[in-house]
Amino acid sequence: MRRTFQLPEEDEECLSNGGFRWEAVTEGGTKWLIIPGYLLPDGYTQRVADVALRIPPSYPDDQIDMVYFHPGLSLTSGKMIKALTPHVLDGKPYQQWSRHRTPINPWRPGLDNVCTHLIQVDTWLRRELN
């Protein structure tokens, strides 16, 4: 797995404890965490997808925002998923999900990290099914 930059030890530990394989890739000066084979909940036409998170330069003080999927996701119900944008990363077409934290659930420097953001991702995935 590629590692062009180092994540904080806390992130590497939680990813390892979660059983995730992951890559830390820099593309065009932007840092990306890519998690291949991320398990999706029932209700998506795919069972797994690669997940990418853009890691901001001032992380972990500044939040991780949104999530990117390859291949793009669709629902078995046929319902359209809103707020999607195509994005090419690592030579592959990703689907950017424009999902953000809210004032009720803000990023908490010193508490939030890659793994708490993945909890957000799982919440967004489940919400889309309703």
54-108 tens-digit pLDDT: 999 999 999 999 999 999 999 999 999 999 999 999 999 999 999 999 999 999 9
Both structure tokens of 109? 């420097």
Dig out the tokens for 111 from the structure: 């508490």
Estimate to the nearest angstrom the gap between the alpha carbon of 5 and the chain centroid.
Answer: 17
Task: Say yes or no to pLDDT of 118 above 90.
Answer: yes
Question: If you average pLDDT over every residue of the chain, what do you get?
Answer: 96
Residue 10 has pLDDT above 90, yes or no: yes
pLDDT score for 1: 85
Mean pLDDT, rounded, for 33-46:
98
Q: What mean pLDDT is predicted for residues 39-49?
A: 97
Please state, in angstroms and rounded to a whole number, the distance separating the CA atoms of residues 37 and 40. Answer: 9
pLDDT at residue 47 is higher than 90: yes
